Amino acid sequence: MTRQRPVSPFESVYFLDLGAAGLPLYDMPAFVESLVRGRLDPELIRRALGLLTEHHPILRSEVTAGDAGLLLRVRDRCRPPLTLLDGIEDTYAELINTRPDWTESLLHAWLLTDGERSQVVLGVHHGVADGRSAFAVLDEFWRYYTALAAGGSPSAERREELPEAVDTRLAGALPDAEVDALVDAIAQGGPADAKPATLPTEGVGRPDRPAATRRFVVDRLEFPAETTDVVVAAARTRGVTVNSLVTGLVLTAVRAQLAPEQGPLTMTCGHGVDLRTRLSPELPLSTVLNCITGLQTTLAVRHDDRPETVGREVADQVAGALARRDPERFLLAALRAGARGIAVPVPVVSYGISNVGRIPAHPVPGDVELLRFGGTANAPGMPPKIGVASFGGRLLVQNEYDSWTYAPEQMRRLRETLRGSLTDLVR
C-alpha cells in the first residue's frame, strides 16, 4: 500500500520555488466556489471536509523532504482549516489573491456570508489537483453537506493509497527514441519561429495599478440556460464545438485590438489538456490528481477573419495534435530535458483557453438555493486566459488576468467585444 511516494517531476514545479527561471506555479491554489441563497452551518462544513480527506488520501497528505527529493506522505488525520469571513463579492475578489499556508493542509475552506447569501470556497494545492478534479471535490463536498443537513450520517470509504502521478503513469507510453528525438530538438533550440502577437502589457508600471489584494481578476460572462442552448445550436450550425467557437471569438477579439492596418498576425492559443482521458484505462474525474498539461496551436489571424473560421482551424490543429499524442510527447520530453539540464523555453501564447466542459449542478439542502458556482487559478507571470464551461446548463465565459500586467480598461474592451459577439450569435 502506497502511503508515501516521491513528488513526481511534473508535480514538483508546483512544490519547488524555481524563481524567474521556472513556470509561475509554486504553491499555486486552485479555487472552486458555490454561491447560494441560505445560511450554512460551519460545523457541518467541517464534518464534510473531514469526510473528503477520509476519502482522498492525497488531500490529507503532507509534503516532506526525503533522501532523493520531496515526498508526499499520507497523514492519519488532517483537519482542513475553515475560515469565516463577512461579505461576498469584495471578500472573494481579495480571497483569490491569497496563498494559503499549505503546511497544515493541502485543502482549505472559507465560508463567506452576506445576509441570506453564503459562499463556500475550497482551495486545493494545484500540485495535487487540477480544475476538473477540484470541481469533483466540490460536488462531493456538497453531497456530504446536504446529507448531513438532512440529519443523515454519510460515510466515506477511507482510502490510504496515493494515486500515481500522471507522468509516472505515462512513463513508457511512448517509445524512448521518439521522446529523445524531441529532447534533441529542444536542446538545439528548434527553428526561430516568429513571436506570436500578444496584447500590449498596458498595466506594467502603472502608478494607479490595483493593490496586491486585487491583483488577479475574474471577470464572468454568464448566460442563462436558454441562451446557452442557442449558442450550442449556433456552434453546431457552423460545424464547430462551443469551445472551438469561443476560441475563435477570443482570438478575433484579441486581434481586433492589434494593429488593424496590418495583414495576418501570427497568434498562438494555449490550451489545457486533461491527460486523465489520455491514459489507458482512463482515470475518472473523481481521482484527485493534477493531470493538466498544455498544448499550443499557432495560426495566422486577419483583422476581418470570422470567429468560426478561426475556431475551425484551431479545432483541426488540436485534433491532429491529439492524434499524434503531442501533449504526452511534449510533456515527457520537457521533463526528460529538464532532468538532463537542458533549458526548456516557456511558451509564449496570445491567449489561453481553459475548457472545463459540462459540470452538472451539485446538490444543496432543500432550504438552500444554488445561485452559481465556478472557480479560478492564477499566478504572477501567467498569460491571460478564458475559462469556458457549462455549469448546471449555464454557459460561463470567464476572463482571468493579472491586472498588474493588463490594464482593466484594456480587458473591458475585450470583454465587451466578446459579449457583443456572443449576443450576435443568439439573435
What domains does the chain contain, in order, with CATH numbers?
4-149 (3.30.559.10), 166-425 (3.30.559.30)
Task: Name which residue leads in pLDDT, 409 or 259.
Answer: 409
String of b and e for 38-70 (b: at least 16 CB within 10 Å)?
Answer: bebeeebbeebbbbbbbbbbbbbbbbeeeeeeb
CA 134 to centroid of chain Cα atoms? 9
CA angle 9, 13, 19 (to 5 degrees): 135
**Averaged pLDDT, 138-164:** 97
Predicted local confidence at residue 259, as pLDDT: 78
Enumerate residues 6+ apart whose C-beta is below 8 A from 21.
Answer: none
Among 20-34, 294-308, 354-368, which is the least confidently predicted range?
20-34
pLDDT tens sequence across 289-327: 999 999 999 999 999 999 999 999 999 999 999 999 999
Share of the chain above pLDDT 90, in %: 80
Predicted pLDDT of residue 369: 98
Residue-wise pLDDT for 90-103, tens only, equals: 999 999 999 999 99
Range in 20-29, 74-83, 273-282, 395-404 the model is least confident about = 20-29
Query: In which band, very low, low, confident or very high, does the pLDDT at 346 lie, cut at 50, 70 and 90?
Result: confident
Say how far apart CA 144 and CA 350 lie, in whole Å. Answer: 41
Classify each residue of 349-387 as buried b or exposed e, where b means 16 or more C-beta atoms within 10 Å of its C-beta. bbbbbbbbeebeebebbeebebebbbbbbbbeebbbbbb
Q: Judge contact between 6 and 68, C-beta under 8 A.
A: yes
Instruction: Indicate the residue type of 146.
Output: T
Check residue 190 and give its pLDDT.
63
